């Protein structure tokens, strides 16, 4: 049985950048308060301030993504930067999978994992 190659920091950062770009292109973006709404200026997504209400289907999807798809990626020692990048990937895949109208941030998913 061949051991899986652990991705390097550069590979993780690049993959995370690509996935975030795809997610931003697919989500509805709204302008920040006080900024003019012109097509030449970049828009930023507004993060929810309140805690997310997780449904049973969302929890099942989260567990599938975290402990199914990304199980091998979390195995072994990782730096804080690598873990942060992995959690962003988990959050991105979770948000794509659930197609929720509100984006769930990676910190909320980490907290949910600790609660479970």
Q: Is residue 98 a contact partner of residue 58, using CB atoms and an 8 Å limit?
A: yes
- For residue 92, give both structure tokens: 């991105």
Residue 82 has pLDDT above 60, yes or no: yes
- Kindly tell me if the per-residue pLDDT of 39 is higher than 60: no
Query: Strand, coil or helix: what is 75?
Result: coil
What is the C-alpha R_g of the chain?
16
Rounded to whole angstroms, the Cα distance separating 102 from 104 reads 6
Three-state SS string over 4-55 comes to CCCCCHHHHHHHHHHHHHHHHHHCCCECCCCCCCCCCCCCECCCCCCCCCCC
How confident is the model over 27-40, as a mean pLDDT? 49
CB 87 within 8 A of CB 109: yes
Is the pLDDT reported for residue 77 higher than 80? no
pTM listed for this prediction: 0.53
Q: What is the mean pLDDT of residues 103-115?
A: 83
pLDDT (tens digit per residue) in 16-31: 888 777 776 665 554 4
Q: Which two tokens stand for residue 75?
A: 């195995």
Report the first-to-last Cα separation within the chain, whole angstroms: 32
């Amino acid at each position: 049985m061949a051991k899986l190659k652990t991705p390097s920091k550069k590979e993780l950062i690049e993959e995370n950048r690509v996935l975030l770009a795809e997610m931003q292109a697919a989500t509805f973006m709204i302008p920040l308060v006080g900024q003019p709404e012109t097509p030449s200026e970049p828009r930023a997504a507004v993060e929810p301030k309140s805690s997310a209400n997780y449904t049973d289907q969302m929890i099942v999807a989260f567990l599938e993504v975290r402990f199914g798809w990304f199980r091998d990626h979390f195995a072994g020692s990782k730096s804080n930067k690598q873990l942060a990048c992995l959690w962003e990937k988990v959050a991105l895949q979770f948000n794509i999978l659930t197609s929720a109208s509100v984006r769930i941030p990676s910190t909320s998913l980490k907290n949910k994992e600790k609660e479970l």
